[in-house]
Amino acid sequence: MVDKPRGWTSHDVVDAARRWLGTRRVGHLGTLDPLATGVLPLAIRDATKLVPFLEGGSKVYVGAIRLGEETDTLDADGAVLHRHEGSLPDEATVRDALAGFRGEIEQVPPMFSAVKHAGVPLHRIAREGREVERASKRVRIDRLELLRYEPPRIEIEVECSAGTYVRTLAADVGAKLGCGAHLACLRRTRSEPFASAQAAPAEQLQQESERGGVEGRLIPAVDVLGLPVLRLGRDDTRRVLHGAEIAASGPPLRALATGSRVAALEPGGELLAVLEMRPGRRLRPLRVLRSVAGPV
């Protein structure tokens, strides 16, 4: 788990982790903009196959919004497009505006983002000075609190669904207030199920890598998935490795409904696969972490 420094892209962190751990098989769980800092979980080696099962968790951020200035990137890294000349809204008005964004809302992805239009990332189109129409998407804001009101700067904490753009939220708050706004700074404190206390700065991980100790920071994938655990026998292990269904039996599985998922361990205790309960009490492999490579 990396505490991403400001100025690094999420891909910069992945490249660094490849050097720290000596493997190309590294992926991240949830992009952070270069402006942002904080929790960036990484999946290493076989765990990269589990990213689809882990990246949908809720996120928590603390940050600051600068009222009265709009930028082309919607954050402090962009060029100022417009400055508000009038007075800024008072604290009560700001609180009322924030309350209107709680719950399910529609967001239009920013032009400076990795979302693709006709196969081309929007940020490339934006850097050419062009703007294209983007479809809105529904996101969820579970909590949006005003922590400090010191105009033109306000500090907020937001808990939201994966895929939420906090800089879009900042710009939309500014539009609702009628003064414009951009995201001044942002820190992710939680990316479910990971919290900031588990994250280490990049410099520290580099030092631990040089001493040969960074591998000790890896968290077993089965501990992260949060799924019921099933230890397989040799025959069922062989079937799962070949992509076949197995019968669901035993106390851990009795209460599981169709569609539920299970973390399957091979006889030695290593995570082998994620299985899904099918009709007829059958378990179907959704993701197998290793291929058939000899006797099992």
Cα separation, 17 vs 214, in Å, equals: 10
Look at the chain and count its residues: 296
| Both structure tokens of 117 | 């239009």
Q: Which of 184, 114, 124 lies closest to 152, judged by CA?
A: 184
- List the catalytic residue out of 3, 12, 15, 33: 33
Q: Which two tokens stand for residue 210?
A: 């040089």
Question: How many other CB atoms are found less than 10 A from the CB of residue 81?
Answer: 12
Residue with tokens 């954050």: 75
- How is residue 6 written in tokens? 């400001």
Q: Which residue has the tokens 């992710």?
A: 188
33 is catalytic: yes
User: Per the structure block, which two tokens stand in for 202?
Assistant: 């990049």
The radius of gyration of the chain from alpha carbons, rounded to an integer in Å, stands at 23
Those residues whose C-beta lies under 8 Å from the C-beta of residue 206, and which sit 6 or more positions away, are: 16, 20
Alpha carbons 280 and 247: distance in angstroms, whole number? 9
Enzyme catalytic residues: 33
